[in-house]
Amino acid sequence: MEYFLQQSINGFALGSIYGLVAIGYTMVYGIIGMINFAHGDIFMVGTFIALIAFLILVAIGITAIPLALFLMLLIAMLLTSLYGWAVERIAYRPLRGSFRLAPLISAIGMSIVLQNYVQLAQGARVKTLQPLITGTHTVLDLGNRFVVQISNIQILIVLTTLALMTGFTWIISSTSLGRDMRACEQDLKMAALLGVDTNRTISLTFLIGAALASVAGMMYLLYYGVIDFHIGFVAGVKAFTAAVLGGIGSLPGAMLGGLLIGLIETYWSAYFSVQYKDVAAFSILIVVLIFMPTGILGRPEVEKV
Amino acid sequence: MSATRTGNASVLSHALKDALIAAIVAFGLFMLLLGFLTDDSRGPLRLLSRPVLLATTVGIVFVGRFLISLLYYNAAALRYYLGELWTAICNFAREFKIALLVVLLLIGGGWIFFSPKDWPLILITVATILIGVRFGFSAALLVFAALFPVAFYNNPYFLGIAIIILTYVMLGWGLNIVVGLAGLLDLGYVAFYAVGAYSYAIIAQAYGWSFWVCLPLAGLFAAFFGILLGFPVLRLRGDYLAIVTLAFGEIVRIVLLNWVSFTNGPNGIGSIPRASFFGIPFNATDEGFAAKFGLEFDPTHRTVFLFYVILALALITNWVTIRLRKLPVGRAWEALREDEIAVRSLGINPTNTKLTAFAIGAMFGGFAGAFFATRQGFISPDSFTFPESALILAIVVLGGMGSQIGVAIAATVMTASFELFREFEQFRLVIFGFAMVGIMVWRPRGLVSTREPTAYLKERKTISVEHVAEGRG
């Protein structure tokens, strides 16, 4: 029981990270109907930017952890969203109206570019960051050999995710940008006819998606402390799985899917086998797409002639 | 912004503005990742700054963007001229006789100039030119490939590269059935390659069966896997299908990596039996190939043999594809690619049709895998990663989905350039990624974008890009 609870806490923290990345997939899919294959690599770029930003902050003498973390977050969000914007501008915008698979192929190309660019710029070796946020709280102690704990970093991850989700939901539901985005999601052409600047809206969608991914990246860096240029691929596929599981196009769905994937992966690793934890996530992807392509909270898609 | 802008000052200032914006964006993009290097070679992680690298990169972006903008504003017709240039190049290439003559004469002439002893090459050059003039580019390419080992017998390095190229040509042709003809984006093709390689390695080691028995088995296993995967997932739409095949490819790789008792895990399988000349091994013994045929033993015999094996396999793939395109099933594939709903309303079962394409594509992947295993003598899951799938896909995409000759050219160019720039491992991959993006942006139908229709009324006409509206359905 304690073990299960502990795994649930771990899974929840991991799931929050997946959820933040999944929002980027689901938003882009909702609006322009493409799988942004490079999004996982944007997440990876986010981890690297956060790492370098932190090292710079330390080098210039900002060592107060809360301030450093806050600045790190700002820098990471700013610069990573620039990457999201640039990728959209270079690889996707010229392809609007091209045949269906073109953006996906282009996205795969962009993913290869980003991975190898980071490897080229920062080397292939694994980067390790010592834990910045330490300390744990005991959640449950029944006097058995096993004590359920929640660490400060896990609390931070969940709180940050909650805060971001709240802010993001507010943007979508109450700002003019959010209204534009919802309009584009429903009907891109009609929205354009009614005066929505669709190109700008799509750009901003990529920007926001990348910013959220960068936060996820920073959390990943703080949580695991080990990153390399390759983490984007698997994390991306899992986050995409989360988006599909929650129902692609649905924002609460992405978060829910992320949490579920995080929990499933953690339980799988805890009770079955760590080696096959990626297989679990990939199998879920396949099974969901075959049997429940609309996901948990998604709307069924009507095929138009 | 159009050509109506006049006046040098305004052109210049606009170009400068563009360049400045591009430079600022580039600075933002590269500031941390290029400007600093995280280094852990000595103890804990520390930062090294690289201002020169950053400044150079941003400078290149500034100058590049400035020049592009200058050209763009100055000549609105630039795009038109570029298009014209491209058409001219295409026309030139289509006039294969001249192009072929010039290229081959240059190559041949250069070669003879530098080493006059290479008479077989001269022979081949002449033969290729003659064939090319009489029968066309494809035939010339075929003759060149067939005579290649004669010319480069003394150059095992070239032979090795040629074998790798042909392997990729074969993989490209195999995937072309799935992606180019049936229009199904398969991101996990390497899984079938892996299944072929592992089934050959394991069967050959466990039962000692020869390559020629195992080869069809490897193809069958791969096809079986194709059906196994395809049956549930092929009703999915294009991009979902792509992601599912990707997941499948990864699952296969992870299983190969972790099922140690069966596949020996990350250590891979070594000392895989080599292919024999229909039962006669290539070794220095009395029973070996050299002794049987009264030749002096030479390890190149095996290489040449492998070259012809993969050439034959690739040609079989090509031939089967060409034949299939003329059969109802091939026509159904292409129709499915163009408009699935129309196909369904004509009473063709789309799932079964896709399944055949998937299985046949997988089978050729399996053949290529078995060949790979016997050539390498060693396989491990490292050879079957996603980038490998992406490479094969890129070959098909760059060559022009559905074009056999385009795929062959793309495979040759890519593999050869990968060999040439081996030292610049990551640079070439960055460029390769950009090439995929660029092709999608500028020439989404690939480099060879004209198609020979398989069904036609009265006379055969090539179809230009504009009339091939792929994937609109």
State pLDDT tens for residues B95-111: 665 666 677 677 767 76
- Taking CA atoms, B351 is separated from A180, B48, B175, B334, B358, in Å, by 38, 56, 18, 14, 10
Whole-angstrom distance, CA of residue A212 vs CA of residue A251: 13
Residue A302 inside a domain? The answer is no
Euclidean distance between CA atoms B107 and B111, whole angstroms: 6
Does residue B360 register a pLDDT over 50?
Answer: yes
B214-234 pLDDT, tens digit each? 889 999 999 999 998 888 887
Per-residue pLDDT of chain A (305 residues; tens, 9 = 90+): 778 888 898 899 999 999 999 998 988 888 888 888 899 999 999 999 999 999 889 888 887 888 888 999 999 999 999 999 999 999 998 888 777 778 888 999 999 999 999 988 888 888 888 888 878 888 777 777 778 888 888 999 999 999 998 998 899 889 999 899 888 888 888 999 998 898 999 999 999 999 999 999 999 999 988 888 889 888 998 999 899 888 888 888 899 999 999 999 999 888 887 778 888 888 888 888 888 878 888 777 655 55
Contact B251 A48 (CB under 8 A): no
Separation CA B425–CA B413 (nearest Å): 16
Q: With CB atoms and an 8 Å threshold, state whether A102 touches B232.
A: no
Which two structure tokens, joined as six digits, stand for A99? 């045949």
Residue spans of alpha helices (H) in chain A: 2-32, 39-59, 65-87, 102-122, 152-174, 176-186, 188-193, 198-224, 231-246, 251-271, 277-291
- DSSP at A150: E
Chain B CB contacts of A100 under 8 Å are 238-239, 471-472
Residue located via tokens 């694994």: A126
pLDDT value of position A130: 82
pLDDT of B189 reads: 92
- How far, in Å, CA of B313 to CA of B4, rounded? 57
User: Do A86 and B36 count as a contact with CB atoms less than 8 A apart?
Assistant: no
Cβ contacts (< 8 Å) between B390 and chain A: which residues?
108, 112
Taking an 8 Å cut-off on Cβ atoms, the answer to whether B36 and A55 are in contact is yes
Q: Would you say residue B469 has pLDDT above 60? A: no
Residue B458: how many other CB atoms lie within 10 Å: 5
What is the least distance, in Å, from the CA of B47 to any CA of chain A? 7
Q: Which residues in chain A have Cβ-Cβ distances shorter than 8 Å to B251?
A: 279, 282-283
* Chain B residue whose CA is closest to A274: B258
Q: B434 vs A82: CB contact, 8 Å cut-off?
A: no
Residue with more model confidence, B275 or A171: A171
pLDDT at B472: 34
> Would you say residue A299 lies in a domain?
no
If one compares B20 and B145, the residue with the highest pLDDT of the two is B20
Question: CB A286 to CB B244 under 8 A?
Answer: yes
In a domain? residue A46? yes
Q: DSSP assignment, residue B401?
A: T
What is the domain partition of chain B in residue ranges?
A: 8-76, 79-151, 156-447
Report the distance separating Cα B62 and Cα B67, nearest Å. 9
pLDDT surpassing 80 at residue B119: no
Residues of A in Cβ contact (< 8 Å) with B399 = none
What are the tens digits of pLDDT across the range B3-32? 444 556 677 788 888 889 999 999 888 888
Q: Which residues contact B471 (CB under 8 A, 6 or more apart)?
A: A99, A100, A101, B183, B238, B337, B338
State yes or no: pLDDT of B449 exceeds 70.
no
Q: What is the pLDDT of residue A87?
A: 93
Question: Cβ(A84)–Cβ(A42) under 8 Å?
Answer: yes
Report chain B's mean pLDDT, rounded to a whole number: 80
Residue A101 and residue B185: Cβ atoms within 8 Å?
Answer: yes
Of A254 and B466, the one with more pLDDT: A254
Task: Determine whether the interchain pair A101/B469 forms a contact, defined as Cβ–Cβ distance below 8 Å.
Answer: no
Q: Return the residue in A132, A289, A290 with the most chain B beta carbons within 10 A, the one to mutate for interface testing.
A: A289
Residues in chain A: 305
Q: Find, among B358, B385, B395, B363, the residue nearest to B249 by Cα.
A: B385
b/e map B385-405, b = 16+ CB within 10 Å: bbbbbbbbbbbbbbbbbbbbe
| Per-residue pLDDT, A261 | 92
Q: How many other CB atoms are there within 10 angstroms of residue A169's CB atom?
A: 14
pLDDT at B148: 78
CA-derived radius of gyration, chain B: 25
Query: Would the CB atoms of A113 and B469 count as touching at under 8 Å?
Result: no
Structure token pair of residue A214: 């960068």
For residue B412 the two structure tokens come to 């040759």
Closest Cα in chain A, distance from residue B263 (Å): 15
- Residue B119 Cα, gap to closest chain A Cα (Å): 43
> What confidence category does residue B142 fall into, taking pLDDT thresholds of 50, 70 and 90?
confident
Interface test with B, best of A101, A214, A227, A237 (most B CBs within 10 A): A101
Burial class (CB in 10 A: 0-12, 13-18, 19+), B95: exposed
Strand partners, A180: none
Answer yes or no: are the C-beta atoms of B338 and B141 closer than 8 Å: no
What are the structure tokens assigned to A219, written together? 């959390």
pLDDT for residue B1: 42
The domain that holds A225 is classified in CATH as: 1.10.3470
Across B7-30, b (16+ Cβ under 10 Å) vs e yields: eeeebeebbeebbeebbebbbbbb
* Chain B residues touching residue A104 (CB < 8 angstroms): 185, 238-239, 242
CB B34 within 8 A of CB A119: no
Smallest CA–CA separation between A171 and chain B, in Å?
A: 25
Structural domain that includes position A218? 2-291
Q: What is the pLDDT of residue B447?
A: 67
B35 to chain A, closest Cα gap in Å:
9
State mean pLDDT over B182-194.
Answer: 90
Q: Is the dihedral of CA B446, B466, A202, B58 positive or negative?
A: positive
Q: Which two tokens stand for residue A218?
A: 């920073």
Rounded to a whole number of angstroms, the distance from the CA of B437 to the nearest CA of chain A is 4
Q: What's the domain count of chain A?
A: 1
**In angstroms, how far is the first alpha carbon of chain B from the final one?**
33
Q: By the 8 A CB rule, do A217 and A50 touch?
A: yes
